[in-house]
Structure 1
Amino acid sequence: MDLITPEVGLFFWQTVVFLVLIFIMAKFAWKPILGAVKEREDSINNALASAEEARKEMQNLQADNEKLLQEARVERDAILKEAREIKEKVINDAATEAQLKANKIVAQAQVTIENEKNAAMAEIKNQVATLSLQIAEKVVREELSSKEKQHKLVETMLEDVTLN
């Protein structure tokens, strides 16, 4: 018997054994293997579906985050604008109040200066009047120091009275 030439009997028995082996495999091993493959396929499909859902959810979250970020920017800009307006109003109010106070102080100073001026003028008038009286008194004493000067003064005054 030659190993290279196949015999019909050997070929028959190998075919029978092969068919029995396929039958046993189909009966006992094929279903569990196909079940495991099917289960693995379902598991992979579920994982892919979950990944897709997670990706979509991540996109939604990113969109929501972007929207919230945009809203926060708008709100921040509004708050900054309001703060600038308040700052300008406070500065303007302070400047106006300072100007009013300055005007009031100037007006009070002018009144005080006018009062001081009037008081000084009155004092000067009093001093001039006092000096004038003192000078007149000295002049009158000098003129009335003798009888002859007294008569002359009386006559001059009488002439003035009669003329008016």
Structure 2
Amino acid sequence: MQIVTPEFGLIFWQLVIFLVVLFLLAKFAWKPILSSLKEREDSIETALRMADQAKLEMQLLKASNEKLLAEARQERDRMLHEATQMATQLIDQAKNKATEEGGRMIVQAREAIQNEKNAALAEVKNTAAQLSIDIAERILRRELTDSAAQQQLVDSYLKDVKLN
């Protein structure tokens, strides 16, 4: 059982070695280890703060991007609305111009038809008058070859004419 129960000398030397190692570690190792742990803790804290700041900046950029996108959509909608209005105005102007031009052409056509009608009526009147004159001339030549017939015709015309 001696292996299980340590003697006083063994415990003493173990205690001395432990205290020496503890002193050496405290003198040379603890400060650098603690300072490196402190630096590590500080760098992690800084990195976390920077990550939070980057997250906030990303949220601001996202909000800004959404705002810009909304403005771009509004601008696009406004431009589409203006383009639609301009197209409608151009179509209306073209319709009005076509209507005016059609009306003007109809008026010109009516005037031309009226002028042709008047010219045709004048031609018919002239032709009818010329035919009447030719027929009357032929009838008068035939009837007026005799002087007694001429005298009788003059007398009948004089009876028809009423003198005031």
Same fold (TM over 0.5): yes
- State the match for 2:6 in structure 1: 6
Mapped partners of 1:154, 1:11: distance in 2:
186
Structure 1, unaligned stretches of length 5 or more? Answer: none
Counterpart for residue 104 of structure 1: 104
Gaps of 5+ in 2: none
Given residue 153 of structure 2, which amino acid in structure 1 is its aligned partner? L
Q: Which residue in the other structure is 1:117 paired with?
A: 117
Deviations 1:61-116 (A, max 9, x none): 00000111111111111111111111111111111111111111111111111111
Distance 2:15 2:158 in 1: 184
- For 2:63 and 2:159, the matched residues in 1 are separated by 119
* Aligned AA (1:82): E
Instruction: Report deviation, 1:42.
Output: 1.2
RMSD over aligned CA atoms reads: 1.5
For residues 97 and 91 of structure 2, the distance between their equivalents in structure 1, rounded to whole angstroms, comes to: 10
- 1:16 is aligned to 16
Distance 1:158 1:25 in 2: 169
Number of residue-to-residue matches in the alignment? 163
Q: Which has the higher contact order (CA 8 A, sep 6+)?
A: 1
Letter in 1 for 2:76: R
Shift in Å, 1:44? 1.1
TM-score by length of structure 1 reads 0.93
